Structure 1
């Protein structure tokens, strides 16, 4: 069993920032953390990354799509790709995320449960990619948003059966399209609901009975309201859309906060890239729309909502699979404090994903998934982009 000690000039442990630290690692786990920064004297291999380096828990992306290729038309590309070629692409996407220090991802929509194949591969070879928490094909209405992934289902008994199937196959989360979206030609618009309150309750009750959390894709105001009332664990996107644009409701924000529902904001854009506006929307209208959504997100944060970042990686050129760290810039626009931004991608995300204690923190007993950056993230959150090293299960991959 290989043992080593990783030393740096500072450490963010998932909760707070401290001075020099030495993290002792063995067998893929953290044995202990020496917050004095003392180096071992017993011959243990020391990886000294220097006084300007800062240790962080590996980042957690709460919303990715490894099956989407981050190209200009990922839906068409997916449809023309065989399962074997798609798996090869998904492996490359996972490696790209890991290189950026993203050591855990929640995959919220694949085709034919291909992400479960990767789960098995990564269990044997963790150095090849992040730990994947898969949803399988998302639950959607016939012809609904992302129906091409194979998760079309309607009716109470069919919804229960779909949840049970995902549990049996080994999925870690249930994803349901509570509202429409922007990527699926011919489906309902993003502001419109796909499932009503009763259907959402059926899914949540069955999932929770089986010990699984539920993530609800919810752009529309009514879909958000119904998903919260149904008891979902996380709201994805949370755009507060109506037929007339963005209209966030302060009472609904209070309800989200009171119910302690996690809000997974799909933030982060690759440098030099811009959103492609949906059909019928100009670039200027798109910019105004994004600003309005960010205002709503800022209100959520200021009112005390549990905010995490899910990048939605894969859906376009502006969303490569390593994009999550760029989300710190969007959080800064929302007025999020630097250390809160880091918590949203580490310890808070781990709590949402039900891997708390094992992921998202640097402490004895946790997985040795560690990101090392250069700089002080409390003063400069963008330092998370200056990667010095990445460790996955104690194995240095960068």
Structure 2
């Protein structure tokens, strides 16, 4: 791989903001970081990114579905596609993500473990898509939320243990369990109801942890969020705090979340299609309360990893994370907190912090260069360069 350098007027390394900085890349990793303003070593070519450039680690979207095509009916499109067609759509989604600087995604639900096949393909062609941390088909109840992905599992000890072990044997990076109902599956439990008991969640978590895998729990319901905390899951997805009648972000529960080791992954971000966002009715009627709870978690110092659920609708394309960053800042979350949340904090949540989410010597050379974000957070969409695994990504 080539050796080259990137110079920027400002750099955010995943935790701190610096002035003029130079990062040297060698063999796909970061070989040198200089924050003194000194030039790179003689003979090292420098990528021209402009005098006002802002350098940060590649973004991490910790909850996507590459198999959903961001159409008006992604479930129907998925069901209608054979595996070859679906994998082709996933390649397109991956390419769209990496071109805006999303260099790692955690795919929390595919069909037939296709995200593992895509992961293998992209390892040899990092310019074509992000690193994929795959869950495979999410564990769900028979007929439960997203059962069409193939993860239906009986609520017996033997079946649940077998489901976890299969994902480990296939090489998944995380186990996803649909702890509550959801919004996309006709005939399944509503999002404010549980799908698995606390004992069943504990069984899955204990076995996954024994095998070295983290667990991500889909949890809209307030009661299920409590169960997920009690079970010791690693990340709680959506965090909608739903009850049958509304939203109940109980302050005592928020305090428990902050004090715990669990990361929380609220769903954020939308692309403006020119039409009102078509949230499911259960979300739309509770949206203000859900968003307020998410902001409160940031304020209280919880380990928040905002992620997009990319693919689930026309307003959720696979390149929506930068827009989500700008939208969170516009709603009052401090910019550096948001940038850390989608880089270094997300890397910790996804168990890849030893080589992702930071600009430091030895880390993967995953870099995003934009216009000056201190001038305007919207310039996160002014992409000057994307480097993934030391390879410059075409951005047009």
* TM-score of Structure 1 vs Structure 2, range by shorter chain: over 0.9
Q: State the superposition RMSD in angstroms.
A: 1.4
Structure-1 residue corresponding to 2:277: 275
Structure-1 residue corresponding to 2:383: 387
> Normalised by the size of structure 1, how large is the TM-score?
0.96
Q: Check if 1:323 corresponds to 2:320.
A: yes
Structure-2 residue corresponding to 1:374: 371
List per-residue Cα deviations over 1:268-287 (Å, max 9, x = no partner). 000235432435x7xxx92x
Q: Which runs of 5+ in 1 are unaligned?
A: none
Structure-1 residue corresponding to 2:185: 184
SS of residue in 2 equivalent to 1:355: coil
The 10-residue stretch of structure 1 (92-101 or 291-300) with the greater mean CA deviation from structure 2: 291-300
Structure-2 residue corresponding to 1:363: 360
Cα contact 1:8–1:48 (8 A) shared by 2: no
Q: Check if 1:335 corresponds to 2:337.
A: no
Shift of 1:334: 5.1
List per-residue Cα deviations over 1:275-330 (Å, max 9, x = no partner). 32435x7xxx92x5211111111222222111111100000000000001111244
Cα contact 2:326–2:380 (8 A) shared by 1: no
Alignment of 1:250-261 (within 5 A): 250-261=251-262
Q: Check if 1:141 corresponds to 2:141.
A: yes
> Normalised by the size of structure 2, how large is the TM-score?
0.96
Structure-1 residue corresponding to 2:37: 37
Cα contact 2:57–2:358 (8 A) shared by 1: yes
Q: Aligned in 2, Cα 1:188/1:333: closer, same or farther, shift over 3 Å?
A: farther
The 10-residue stretch of structure 1 (147-156 or 89-98) with the greater mean CA deviation from structure 2: 147-156
Structure-2 residue corresponding to 1:200: 201
* Distance (whole Å) between structure 1 residues aligned to residue 374 and residue 195 of structure 2: 41
Q: Aligned in 2, Cα 1:32/1:186: closer, same or farther, shift over 3 Å?
A: same
* Distance (whole Å) between structure 1 residues aligned to residue 276 and residue 131 of structure 2: 29
Cα contact 1:338–1:380 (8 A) shared by 2: no
SS of residue in 1 equivalent to 2:304: strand
Shift of 1:165: 0.6
* Distance (whole Å) between structure 2 residues aligned to residue 261 and residue 380 of structure 1: 32
Residues paired across the two proteins, number: 392
Cα contact 2:368–2:386 (8 A) shared by 1: yes
* Distance (whole Å) between structure 2 residues aligned to residue 318 and residue 242 of structure 1: 25
Alignment of 1:1-398 (within 5 A): 1-154=1-154, 155-272=156-273, 274-278=276-280, 286=284, 288-332=285-329, 335-375=332-372, 377-378=373-374, 380-397=376-393, 398=395
Give runs of ≥4 in structure 1 deviating > 3 Å: none
Shift of 1:333: 5.4
